[in-house]
Amino acid sequence: MGSQHILINGAGPAGLSLAIALAKRNIRSTVFEIRSTPTTMGGAINLAPNALRVLDQTIGIYDQIRHLGFEYEYIEFYSDDGWRLGGVANGDRQAYGYPALRIYRAAILEALLKCINDYSTLITIRWGSSINKIAESDTGVEVTLHDGSTINGDILVGADGIHSKTREYVLGDRAPTPIYGGQYGIGGCVERNEIDWQNFTLPALLFSHRGAVLLFPFTPDGNNIGWAIQSTVPEKTREGWIEYLNSGVALEDVRKQYADAGQVSLLMI
């Protein structure tokens, strides 16, 4: 069998991690990314022990990123007046060998891209490239990009998100079309000492009669805390959503919604 060549659609954490894992086994890959440069889009995300195990034992960047985010094991549940309702384990050093980690997506991408520099002969990233057509044969797969160029590989792996071209090809008419679910997510940041936190242990999910609010530290010392809520908002165009956020109307709507929600309302000031 000749040298293997894997095509990967999408240069997010999943696509880049796969490319590195393949390179460690001397397998060549080409990654296609629709954006022209690495992006800092996306906020903080949670990595559970299974993901951290891969980043540690397969990819080898865990020690580089673990101190860039907030390590935790449980998410606590509270009522807005401070009563603890319960909690859920999200990581467990004793059981799984790793906690969970709240970290900015951009920090993970930066570490992965730095690692990819060590495999420049095996990993090619084609920025500003999107797949227009996919064709399979008995010997592999050929993709045609929007600029008309074609590339051949043994297999194509889809890591291309909600508007996946790969999923569309595999499922055909059965491929689901993403639709707006009616819930708009918005959040912000506060310093831990800005608010009377009572006896809350973070991260936490606070329940009020107006809705739930997620509180999640995202820096190693736990002093920078992100809050997030979901609210029912009519669907808008892409430009409409940007205007809704940048104009301040979105935050004002949240303030009105949670104005009488006790401790939760203090986050929206």
With a cut of 60, say whether residue 27 has pLDDT above it.
Answer: yes
Task: Quote the pLDDT of residue 1.
Answer: 46
Sole residue written with tokens 């008419």: 173
Helical axes 105-116 vs 13-23, angle rounded to 10°:
30
With a cut of 50, say whether residue 113 has pLDDT above it.
Answer: yes
Task: Quote the pLDDT of residue 145.
Answer: 94
What is the chain's length? 269
Architecture of the domain delimited by 5-72+100-174: 3-Layer(bba) Sandwich (3.50)
Q: What is the DSSP letter of 59?
A: I
E strand residue ranges, the chain:
5-9, 28-33, 44-47, 70-72, 74-79, 84-89, 100-104, 123-127, 131-137, 140-145, 150-153, 155-158, 183-191, 204-208, 211-217, 224-232
Task: Quote the pLDDT of residue 82.
Answer: 77
CA dihedral 33, 36, 37, 41 (to 10 degrees): -80
Distance CA 258, CA 148 (A): 52
With a cut of 60, say whether residue 65 has pLDDT above it.
Answer: yes
Where does the chain hold its CATH 3.50.50.60 domain(s)? 5-72+100-174
| CB contact burial 94-110 (16+ within 10 A = b; e otherwise) | eebebbbbbbbbebbbb
Beta bridge partners of 70: 102
In this predicted model, what pLDDT tens digit does every residue of 214-259 receive, in sequence order?
A: 889 999 998 889 888 888 889 999 899 999 989 989 888 888 888 7
Residue 61's contacts (CB-CB under 8 Å, 6 or more residues apart) are: 55, 111, 112, 115
Distance CA 59, CA 167 (A): 26
In this predicted model, what pLDDT tens digit does every residue of 93-110 receive, in sequence order?
A: 999 999 999 999 999 999
Distance CA 26, CA 236 (A): 47
Distances (CA, A) of 90 to 26, 74, 102, 204, 269: 34, 5, 11, 12, 30
In 143-221, alpha helices (H)? 165-171
With a cut of 50, say whether residue 85 has pLDDT above it.
Answer: yes
Distance CA 96, CA 214 (A): 25
- Name residue 36's amino acid: S
With a cut of 70, say whether residue 197 has pLDDT above it.
Answer: no
Q: How confident is the model at residue 3 (pLDDT cuts 50, 70, 90)?
A: confident
In this predicted model, what pLDDT tens digit does every residue of 146-185 receive, in sequence order?
A: 999 999 999 999 999 888 889 999 998 898 888 899 988 8
- Name residue 262's amino acid: G
**Cα–Cα–Cα angle for 168, 160, 179, nearest 5°?**
60
How many C-beta atoms surround the C-beta of residue 160 within 10 A?
23
Question: pTM of the full predicted structure?
Answer: 0.86
